[in-house]
Amino acid sequence: MRSKSCDQAKYLAQELRQAQESGARLQHTLDVTKAVVAQRDQEQVALRRQLQDAGDIEKNNRQTAAAVERQIAELQRTIVSREVQLSRSISINGLDEHTTQAVRTFKDRLIRGEDLKTAALGIAGYELPEIEAAMAQRDRNEMRALDALLMRPTWRRRVVLWLLGGRPA
């Protein structure tokens, strides 16, 4: 009987060892699985952070692009405004000092509210009432021609510069 109980003890010891080995393998597999899951969780958190950062960067880029587009639109409006102002201005590049001063005086008179004819004639040394009186008394064709030319925007600059003794550019 002793041999039977000894065999049974060996058998149980062997099964216990196998169960312990199987338990150790399962525990190792569980530990490895937990470590992999923890690593994947960290990777997922990092990916979410990167995705959120990318979203924030894209949002900032869109806002920056919108701000740049607004600035471009404002600059385009400014350019158009400056072009209109420039087209309405008289260039003084290349003019002598006397002519430059006369053009500035002409601009100042226009700014003060004088009409174009009065300002141009005043710089040339004439007064509008004198010219109108001469036209009424003598019916001079050249005075009517001057009046007609001053009404045309394309000729205004030429006539003013001619009256000032300069050359139209």
**Could you tell me if residue 136 is inside a domain?**
yes
Q: How far is the C-alpha of 58 from the C-alpha of 28, rounded, in Å? A: 44
By the 8 A CB rule, do 102 and 169 touch? no
**Could you tell me if residue 80 is inside a domain?**
no
pLDDT for the residue 34: 93
Helix ranges, 91-140 (H): 97-111, 116-123, 128-138
Say which residues have a Cβ less than 8 Å from residue 29's Cβ, sequence separation at least 6: none
pLDDT for the residue 87: 54
Radius of gyration of the chain (CA): 49
**Could you tell me if residue 157 is inside a domain?**
yes
Q: Residue 143 above 80 pLDDT?
A: no
**Could you tell me if residue 114 is inside a domain?**
yes
Name the percent of the chain lying above pLDDT 90.
20
Domains held by the chain: number: 1
pTM above 0.85? no
